[in-house]
Amino acid sequence: MCTQHPDSISRYMSTQEETNESIEAAIRYGCDEYMPDYEGKTTPYHQSAQIVSKFIEETDLIPGKDIFITPRVPSAVHENLFRQLMVMMAAAEANYISHKRLGIQAINELVHPMTSSVQQIIESQQHMIDVNELAKKEFKFEMTPPRIIPLIEEVPKLLNAKDIISKTITAYQEQLKETPDSYRVFLGKSDSALTFGHVASTLSCKYAISELHELEESIDTQIGIIFGAGCLPFRGHMTFENKDNFFNEYRGIDTITLQSALRFDHEKGDAEKFVKYAKKEMSKFPDKLSDEEKTEIINIVGILGARYNRAIQHLSSTINNIADFLPQQRDRLMREGSTGYAREIPDVTCVSCLCNRDVGAELKASIPQENINLPRAIKFTGALYSIGIPPEIIGTGSGIVEVRDKLGEEVCERLLTKYFPSLQADLRFAFQYLDINTASRFIPATFHRSIRQEVDILRDIFDIQTQCEPSYRMLLEMVHPHLLCATDTGCIMDEDLLQLTRSILIKMGSIRRSLG
């Protein structure tokens, strides 16, 4: 699935160019699916219809048969219902065009972001049914209402994915009088990492994959798993160089997201080779987790999530200030306002109550009482890399030590060798962009000491000798006084200095081959 994620450092893609991007996705990269994205984006409502028309007019590929167009709609809860309904009307328009010209329905599914309840899925499905009825009345055109694909991207919901999807399928049967033969579920790595950290996010995604396969064995519905991942380890480490680790960690997935950075920032041909490799490696059955292993993973998630959340609160203002300097590579909505888009603090109750008593209590205590208004995951990740603190490191070393102290040596060993065996590779990558000395100028002294401790622990556990890449270190040294000025609310930068700062940040991104 080719997506419109804005994680490329080298390429700005306007909404006008995205229709051509969809053709390139299929013909150049060999993708089976393209996702027009309306979540938090200013994507024109007619883009889906434009893409369908372009495939019909300029290729031999039939939308809905040879290439699948699967828009991501806005959340009615986190954005607004009006935008969601407009995107659904756009899907109806695309289907009207394809049906009129080819006698086939082009759009059969829609992705629903930030899904947190069965009710959200069923309500959105009903909205699509209502739009279908309107299209039938006004245009004398009847389509099968596109199915809603829930995108689950918070750790508490990932750990509860089996229950959410089981109840969703039951609700389809009871409320919508439909028993789906197959049902797709979208799992997100980035936003779960944003709120719980790298290790907890990875384990939660793998837990959800295993649980969904377990559910599939007990019902008559085939479950297809879409996994959303970017290039940097914090967002999934989906690169050609890391392909073996990636497909070993996330065994059991059926679809991956080919995001912008892998296509535009990596070596020419890497994206095409990755797609070919993926088609051979996907859908391997994941390791089946015992009840004891599930309990261990939930407690590990609680421990690492608490460590990460306590740490990240020290950085929120710095992250926001620096994120604003990073380039906007797609046309996005503002984070605030009536049409805005924002993340909320996750409700960890369902996780904490499954953990050991002291682990659960620490997790609940670590969650901030108020929203800290962090940027989206790509700029969040890019901002931390830009000050020399790769987010993969935050809370990880001390969290592993706490796992050993609270759950035992054997559980800690399973974490490193069975539950997350490629963590060492992720950390070795991150350490190439770690510079504690530069980072110390942006963070409180107490947090600086804790980060140094994290680094020392990780170097010792994983025998990491990797040092910061020399060119990257030099750029960090060059940019830090300008970024310090930017984080000082009383400092005003002239246009030349502003452009210099941004150009250095872009160069740093090109070295790590991703915006964030």
112, 127, 144 - which closes a domain:
144
Structure token digits, residue 50: 């434009």
Residue 98 lies in a domain: yes
Query: Which residues 6+ apart lie within 8 Å of 74 measured at CB?
Result: 38, 39, 40, 80, 83, 84, 87, 113
Q: What is the DSSP letter of 488?
A: S
- Reply yes or no on whether the pLDDT at 253 is more than 90: yes
3-state SS class at 224: strand
How confident is the model at residue 347, as a pLDDT?
Answer: 77
Does any domain span residue 406?
yes
- In the numeric block, the tokens 């390791």 are attached to 287
Instruction: Write out pLDDT tens, residues 162-172.
Output: 999 999 999 99
Task: Determine phi and psi for 231, rounding to 5 degrees.
Answer: -80, -40
Cβ-based neighbours of 457, under 8 Å, separated by 6 or more: 397, 398, 400, 401
pLDDT score of 338: 44
Amino acid at 343: R
Q: What is the mean pLDDT of residues 91-118?
A: 96
Residue 442: phi, psi to the nearest 5?
-105, -10
255-256 and 109-112 beta bridge pairing: unpaired
pLDDT at 343 over 70: no
Q: Which amino acid is at 378?
A: I
What mean pLDDT do residues 264-269 have? Answer: 97
Q: Please check whether residue 258 lies inside any domain of the structure.
A: no
- Examine residue 169 and state whether it is found in any structural domain, yes or no: no
| Per-residue pLDDT reduced to its tens digit, 10-37 | 999 999 999 999 999 999 999 999 999 9
Q: pLDDT at position 492, please?
A: 62
Choose the final residue of a domain: 123, 144, 165: 144
The single residue listed with the structure tokens 């939660």 is: 204
Q: Please, what is the average pLDDT of the chain?
A: 93
Please say if the pLDDT value at position 337 is more than 50.
no
Residue 390: per-residue pLDDT: 98
> Is 90 within the bounds of a domain?
yes
> For residue 7, which amino acid is it?
D
Across 360-372, average pLDDT: 83
For residue 404, which phi and psi values (nearest 5 degrees)?
-65, -40
pLDDT tens digit sequence for 31-62: 999 999 999 899 999 999 999 999 999 999 99
When divided into structural domains, the chain yields a total of 2
Q: Are 194 and 380 in contact (CB under 8 A)?
A: yes
- Span of 79-93, 400-414, 457-471, 482-496 with lowest mean pLDDT: 482-496
Where do we find the tokens 């306590």? 310
Q: Is 489 part of any domain? A: yes
pLDDT digits (tens, 9 = 90+) for 167-204: 999 999 998 888 889 999 999 999 999 999 999 999 99
Domain boundary among 144, 162, 186: 144
Residue 339 confidence (pLDDT): 44
Amino acid at 115: T
Which pLDDT value is given to residue 121?
96
Range name among 75-89, 114-128, 464-478 with the lowest pLDDT average: 75-89
Q: Which amino acid is at 418?
A: K
The span from the CA of 69 to the CA of 54, in Å, is: 12
In SS3 terms, 100-164 reads as HHHCCCCCCEEEECCCCCHHHHHHHHHHHHHHHHHHHHHHCCCCCCCEEEEEECCHHHHHCHHHH
Q: Which residues pair with 151 in a beta bridge?
A: 186
Give the per-residue pLDDT at 334: 61
Residue 220 has pLDDT above 70, yes or no: yes
pLDDT at 299 over 60: yes
Of residues 159, 183, 149, the one with CA closest to residue 169 = 183
Query: Residue 61 has what DSSP assignment?
Result: P
The predicted pLDDT at position 491 comes to: 65
- Give the domain range for residue 15: 1-144
Q: pLDDT confidence of 442, banded at 50, 70, 90?
A: confident
How confident is the model at residue 336, as a pLDDT?
Answer: 53
pLDDT tens sequence across 454-509? 999 999 999 999 999 999 999 999 998 888 776 665 566 778 888 899 999 999 99
Whether 241 maps to a domain, the answer reads: no
User: Does some domain include residue 266?
Assistant: no
Predicted confidence at residue 483, as pLDDT, reads 80
Nearest to residue 516, comparing CAs of 427, 340, 386, 393?
386
pLDDT at residue 340, rounded to an integer: 46
